[in-house]
Structure formats: structure tokens, C-alpha cells
Structure 1
């Protein structure tokens, strides 16, 4: 069942209950009011007759005899009332003139009425049907000086008009209630349809997203910020996040495909070189063996060169595989185990070993004063920190043809900084955001020096694991400067205070 139909039914049902209670209450109040008016008028006129009633009471062998006499005034005041006087002792009935003329004889009082007049009150109302017509009867007790009931004065008035009026009122209330319920339910259906119209937009947008048509689509809404407005705002926010996630996944998938393509290309190059050299050596040795001649010096030289190429390419492929393995660990969420370490010995070891790294003969390597790192501790991993520094130093050597590469240290209250500067080829500012992407340098159009382009990606992972950061300052053909920042470990000071 549609929700708008449910709302319309609920609205109509609640309104039906309200109209039923309202109509019933109104009918009850009107019924009591009209009946009270009829009874009050009947009682008032009958009491006036009772006050002017002239009757003679005489005691006989048959009991008390009562004679009723009504003058002309009584007939005027009792135009719509029929009077009847009943003698209790002999059950003699005296009727008013209009009652005799119209043939209206009020039913004889019952024992219940007599008992009520004797014990409870001097009057009582009853309903009677006379000649097939409804009447209201006012029974007024007549008492002697000893407060004995000797007669009953009855006044009756026609109540058909009251009953007709109440029936018309009941019909009008029922008919109007039905009409109001139908009209209100229809209006409620219209309102619910209008109020829930944005839900249709939500459903259509969700269907389009499910079918993958347009993730940038949003639900238009210009209404108030009620429940529907907040719902649409929330759904639009959710759609925006889904779009960002989808775009991120697309970008990650694109980068993954590029990564696989670049890795395959990088691995294929050394494998092709190795295979070519192996085939060359096999051919040369096969040719010498077929001639049954000693292996010449030329073949030995060419073989030695081929084996050197094979060794170099094997080493290159081994480095590439190790780099890929490191990045695979990073992608798998590997967490580097860290412990508090003094930073100065790590930097000194890197400075000592860096002088043996391959570089141009025209490039000088030096490290300035390292004393600011005295008694500086970081929470890290020694091997990965050394690998981090070697990556930046090797890059500086690789992209510097002449000049120098300098390592400097500095620190603040919270961080330790290692500055590595070179006088190499530098970069354009547009290239800086991309240098930490994998295989960025593998594209020859993006740099003058070849390489796998995985080093800085590994360095970024190590920095992230150590909660560090890096600053890059570079200018085309004027060199680059990288400042590596590592958070200083404060736990050692706390331990010293405790000691």
C-alpha cells in the first residue's frame, strides 16, 4: 500500500472519529436542550393551571371525590396542553375541554408513577403514545392537608415536532460528517501527494545512481527545511560522498593499471637485455665449438661484457622488485615497528656511507655541523630511517651533474629537520605535487634522468609511518632542497625526571 494512501486513510480515520464524537456530543446536547425546553414549558403551564385549580374534595362512602373546573383563562394558557385529573380513590378521570374535543385521553398512571409521587417528588415526566402520536406527560401530584396523595393532575403536549427536529438534526450531522470526511480525505490525499513528491525525486535519483547514469545528479529542493528538506539535504550529502568515493576508486583503479603497466615495462627492459645477452653468448660459444677451435680472445671479451650487462640488469631488476615489495607492504597496511632511537648516530652512519654512493666526479658531498642533534630522540625504525635518507641523497646525486650535495640539520621544540640540498636540474613548480607518485620518473618525457620512480613513493610511506613531513624547495636548472621533519620523542625527558 502506498504511503500516501496510508496517510490519507489515517487522516480520514482520525477525522471520522473526531466527527463521530463531535456529532454525537452535539446531538446529545441538542436533544437535552430541546427536551428541557419542552418539559420546562409543559411544567410551567401545568403548574399555572395547578395553582388556579379549583376543585372540591368531599369524602363519601366511595372515597374522596374531586371536581375540576377550568375557566377561560386556563383554556388560553393551555392551548397546546391537554389536561387530565385523576381521582386516586375512585380512579375517576376529569378531562379538559380541548382533550375531550380532540379525543386525547392520557394513559392512566401506573403504580410506578404513584410510588414516585408518594415517596420521591411531587411530579414526574413520562412519555406516552396517544392515538399513535408521541406526547410528553407531566404528572403533578395533588395532596390534602395531611400530605396524602388524593389525585394527579396530568399535562400532556405533543412532542412530534421535537422528534422530527432531532431526526433532521441527526440526518444533517450524519450527511455532513460523511461529506466532510470524504472531502478531507481527498484533500489529505492531495496534501500527502504534494508533501511526498520530493520522495519521488529521491527514488528517481537513487535509481539513476543504481544504474550508474549520473553520479553528479542532486535532488532539487526549494522548500522549507522540514523533515523532507533535511532528508533531501542528507541524501544529497550522501550522494556527494558516494561520488567522491567513486571518483577516488576510479582514480585508484587508473593508478593501479598504470602501476601494473609501468612495472611490467620496467621489468621487461632488464629481462629483454638479459635474454639478448644470453642468446648472444650462446651463439658465439656454439660457433666456436662447431669449428672445434679454441675459444678466441674476442669471444671471451664479448662474453665478459655480456655477463657484466646481465649482472647489472639483474641488480637493477632486484632493486625494482625490492621497491615493489616495499610498496606492496605499504598498500597492505604494514605498520613499521618503532622504538625510541637517538637520531644523531643514524644521521652520522648515513653521512659516512653516502660518500660511497655512485655520483658524478664533479659532485662534492659534505655534511655540516650535526651537533644540534645531540641528545635528540625520535620514535622510529633505524633501517627505514636510513633508507629514507638514502633515497633523498641518491636522488640528489642522480639529478646533479656538477656542484655539491649538502646535508644540514636543524631542530625546533617539537621537530627535528634534515635538509638535503643539491645544485642539480631542479623542477618546475607544476611537477612538485607529482614527484611522490609511483613511476613518475619512469616516463622519459617527465625528466632528463631515467629511473624507476619508486624511491620517493617509498620515502613518503616511511614518512607517513613516522608521522613526519617533507618540504620541497626547487627551481628549474638551479637545484632542489628537501627538508625532512620528524617529531622529537619527549619520553626520554620524562624518564630523566622520574630518575
Structure 2
């Protein structure tokens, strides 16, 4: 069976069929009517009565032809436009929040392609809506937990129920909780700026090797708390100078290290590798649980969380999305390699500084 894939061809052939059927019906009706009336007719050039009878027969035949072809055209038109009507109904239901609505695709033409695209759109909207709900739940949890903790400690301080020897410890806990909330709010603001296209970078030449060393030193308390070792490896004899936004690259490195430390078991080692090729290359490898291959393409999406059960404090799912956007603004890319049970490696590149003399100016 030949399947016509072009809707233009379908409509064109439909019109041809309508015309052919119309003429066939007209001819058949004309023949049948004249065949039954021919014996009683005496045609003559001057016979008005016979000529009027001929016109009446022809008009009747035309009406029969018009009726049959009209019904046939109506049937074909409804059949061809049925997918569009179904998509219209589905779009109305999706607009009301029923994202599980799908369009049944039974043809193989442009309407089928439109139907497939429509179903894909509905699927993505459903996924986005679910991620939004998860995000609201995650943010609510991540805000409520530190606020509840801080509120409890403040009440304890006001009630003088905390011994003086433990006050510094609880003040440190409160400081950690406020820092956690500050990071969450900063991530939300960054994501809002990214979505609005307002996140800008200000490239300048700086020492990437020195930046990584400073970040590692600054995050040492986190490493000690998580009981994770951090090793910086660089075979370059000289420091690597790059042309990028120092503050944003600092944010990228911190997010990736925090991510690696978060999922690394106690006693393991997070490795930071620096090397200079055509571009500066930064790799961060951990010995964590790894990421499933089917999840690798979606880890950059907003609100994505590997730990959906929330048995771990794994953030709100914004960090990697922000990292991806920052790296993209530098016109480079970031890659991830991972195997379940074998750890994960994130690698991104930065443009090398055009010349060292400019950095020294």
C-alpha cells in the first residue's frame, strides 16, 4: 500500500478525485435520466417544450451530482482535518494542566510530524511541571530546615539553656546554616538572571593555577568536615594564564568541587587536574557513586537532583545548570564522564591568555 507523506499531495489528489467523481456522477445521472425519458421525447430545434424538459433533466442531474460530490468532499475534509481538531482539543486540555494528554498519530505526513512534535511538547511540559514541583518542595525543605534550626538555637540562647562551653559550637552551626541559605538564595538569583539573559561575564587575564590553589585552601574546612582528601595535580612548569571572568570561574570551580565532595565517601580523594593544551583544561574527579548513563544528558537541566529521596542534602539542582551556562558564556564547553560505582569526572576548558606581557602590565 502506497502511503502519501505530503499533505499537499493529499489535498491535490483529493481535489482531483472530487472533480472526477463529480463528472462521473453527472454523466451517470444524465445518462440514466435521459435513458428513461428518451422514448417519450421528440426533440426538434423549434420545440421549446422539449428543450425545457432537457434543461430540467440536466438541472436535476446537476443537483444529484452536487449533492453526492458535496457529501464526498465533506467526508474527505473531515477525515483530513481530524488530527488538527484533535490537537486543538488536546491543546485546550494541556492549557488547563492536563499534561498527560496525547494526540493519536495514525498518518505519515506533515500532520503526523506535527502530532509527534505536539506530543513531545506535552511530554516536556509535564517533565518541566514535575521538576518545578520538585524544585518548590526542595527549596521549601532547604529553607525550612536551616530556619528551623536557627530559630531553635536562638530560642535556646534567649532562654539561657545552652551552657557557655557549648555556645561557640552552636554559633558555628548557626553560621553554617546561614551560609547554606545564602548559597541557595544566590543560586536562585543567578538562575533568574540566566533566564532573563542578564548574566554577563567580564573577561580578564588572570592566573588560573593560583585561583584553583586559593579555592582549595578556602574550602579546606569542608574537606575536613567531610573527611575527604583533595589532590591538586599539574604537570605544567609555569602557572596557566587564561582570559575569563575570574569571579564566575571561581563560582564554577567551587560548585564542581562541592559537588564532588558531597558525593565522595569518607576517606576518598577528589583530584583536581590542571593542564595546558590549545586551551586550559580543568578536570575534577571524585570516587563517588557515579551517574547512570541515561541520566548524563539531563544532569545539566534546572532542578535536576540525583538524590530524589532527599536522604542526602544534595542541593536544589541548580548548581550544574548554572555551571553549564557560565561555561557556555565563555564560548567553551563542559563534559562529564561517569560510571556507576566508578566515580565521576567533570572537565571544562578556558581560552588561554593571548600573551603574558599583557598580564604583567
Task: Compute the TM-score of the two structures, normalised by the length of structure 2.
Answer: 0.69
Alignment partner of 1:250 is 2:126 = yes
Q: How far is the alpha carbon of 1:405 from its aligned partner?
A: 1.3
| Aligned residue among 321, 341, 345 for 2:207 | 345
Aligned to 2:15: none
| Superposed CA offset, 1:259-278 (max 9, x none) | 11110000000011011111
Is the alpha carbon distance of 1:216 and 1:362 closer, same or farther for their aligned partners in structure 2, counting shifts above 3 Å? Answer: closer
1-structure distance, mates of 2:73, 2:352: 60
| Aligned residue among 313, 325, 348 for 1:484 | 348
Q: How far is the alpha carbon of 1:255 from its aligned partner?
A: 1.4
Q: How far is the alpha carbon of 1:257 from its aligned partner?
A: 1.6
**Number of corresponding residues:** 304
Q: How far is the alpha carbon of 1:192 from its aligned partner?
A: 3.2
Specify which structure has the higher proportion of strand.
1
Is the alpha carbon distance of 1:302 and 1:253 closer, same or farther for their aligned partners in structure 2, counting shifts above 3 Å? Answer: same
What SS class does the counterpart of residue 166 from structure 1 fall into? coil
Specify which structure has the higher proportion of helix.
2
2-structure distance, mates of 1:194, 1:408: 73
Is the alpha carbon distance of 1:396 and 1:386 closer, same or farther for their aligned partners in structure 2, counting shifts above 3 Å? Answer: same
Do 1:365 and 1:405's aligned partners in 2 also have CA atoms closer than 8 Å?
A: yes
1:413-424 equivalence runs, <5 A:
416-424=280-288
Do 2:272 and 2:282's aligned partners in 1 also have CA atoms closer than 8 Å?
A: no
Do 2:240 and 2:280's aligned partners in 1 also have CA atoms closer than 8 Å?
A: no
Aligned to 1:440: 305
Do 1:372 and 1:410's aligned partners in 2 also have CA atoms closer than 8 Å?
A: no
Aligned to 1:209: 90
| Aligned residue among 260, 274, 277 for 1:411 | 277
2-structure distance, mates of 1:424, 1:245: 34
Alignment partner of 1:167 is 2:33 = no
Do 1:351 and 1:367's aligned partners in 2 also have CA atoms closer than 8 Å?
A: no
2-structure distance, mates of 1:282, 1:442: 37
Is the alpha carbon distance of 1:281 and 1:449 closer, same or farther for their aligned partners in structure 2, counting shifts above 3 Å? Answer: closer
1-structure distance, mates of 2:55, 2:146: 92
Relative contact order (C-alpha < 8 Å, sep 6+): which is higher?
A: 2
Is the alpha carbon distance of 1:483 and 1:200 closer, same or farther for their aligned partners in structure 2, counting shifts above 3 Å? Answer: same
What SS class does the counterpart of residue 290 from structure 2 fall into? coil
1-structure distance, mates of 2:117, 2:292: 33
2-structure distance, mates of 1:276, 1:362: 30
Do 1:336 and 1:381's aligned partners in 2 also have CA atoms closer than 8 Å?
A: no
Do 2:131 and 2:304's aligned partners in 1 also have CA atoms closer than 8 Å?
A: no
Structure 2: give runs of 5+ residues left out of the alignment: 1-17, 27-42, 356-361
1-structure distance, mates of 2:55, 2:237: 96
Aligned to 1:118: none
What SS class does the counterpart of residue 223 from structure 2 fall into? coil
| Superposed CA offset, 1:82-108 (max 9, x none) | xxxxxxxxxxxxxxxxxxxxxxxxxxx
Do 1:405 and 1:423's aligned partners in 2 also have CA atoms closer than 8 Å?
A: no
Do 2:337 and 2:345's aligned partners in 1 also have CA atoms closer than 8 Å?
A: yes
Is the alpha carbon distance of 1:211 and 1:426 closer, same or farther for their aligned partners in structure 2, counting shifts above 3 Å? Answer: closer
Higher deviation after alignment, 450-459 or 423-432: 423-432
2-structure distance, mates of 1:196, 1:189: 11
1-structure distance, mates of 2:49, 2:238: 102
Rg bigger for which structure? Answer: 1
1-structure distance, mates of 2:238, 2:49: 102
Alignment partner of 1:238 is 2:114 = yes
Do 1:405 and 1:421's aligned partners in 2 also have CA atoms closer than 8 Å?
A: yes
Q: How far is the alpha carbon of 1:410 from its aligned partner?
A: 4.6
Alignment partner of 1:180 is 2:58 = yes
Task: Compute the TM-score of the two structures, normalised by the length of structure 1.
Answer: 0.52
Do 1:472 and 1:483's aligned partners in 2 also have CA atoms closer than 8 Å?
A: yes
| Aligned residue among 285, 298, 308 for 2:172 | 308
1:280-429 equivalence runs, <5 A:
280-284=156-160, 299-339=163-203, 341-342=204-205, 345-357=207-219, 358-360=222-224, 363-370=229-236, 377=243, 380-400=244-264, 401=266, 402-412=268-278, 416-429=280-293
Is the alpha carbon distance of 1:334 and 1:196 closer, same or farther for their aligned partners in structure 2, counting shifts above 3 Å? Answer: farther
